Amino acid sequence: MHSTIQFPQPFRHRHPPVQNTNELFERKRDVSVRVSDRFAAVVGSWKFIITQTIILIMWAVLNLTAWIYHWDPYPFILMNLVLSLQAAYATPIIMMSQNRLAERDRIEAHNDYQLNLKSEEEVRVILEHLDAQNRALAEIQEALISKKSID
């Protein structure tokens, strides 16, 4: 009896290796990116909010209770100007950081997509190999049954 058992050719990986998106993105970071990220991290922290709140309360209390010199009398026009300038500069810097994070998310999503394609290809190959094994086992079982019936 001639065997017809055949298995697929061994799988050859024809795709580039998976890359770490963090490393890819770190290579693209320059000084301005690091500064905007650090600024966004500081301004977006509870420590900053609490510190700023304490400073603003002290500013208001000192100007309301000062007996001799009110450097910013009520309604605190100078404090309003300082906060407006802070917002005018903080907003675009935070937006730069957010844009960079969005770019990083796009790179990571693309990398995930590539990884999913690779995984799908490998799963397909594994399933083909398992199917070949099932056919081989069926042929072996059939050969054993027919040999047993001859004996």
Residue 36 exposure: Cα atoms within 13 Å on the Cβ side: 17
Write the pLDDT tens digit of every residue in 42-70.
Answer: 999 999 999 999 999 999 999 888 877 88
Domain boundaries, the chain: 32-150
Against a cut of 0.95, is the pTM above it? no
d(CA 99, CA 107): 12
Distance of CA 111 to the CA centre of its chain: 10
Rg, C-alpha atoms of the chain = 34
**Which is more confident, 6 or 33?**
33
Q: How far apart are CA 65 and CA 91, in angstroms?
A: 33
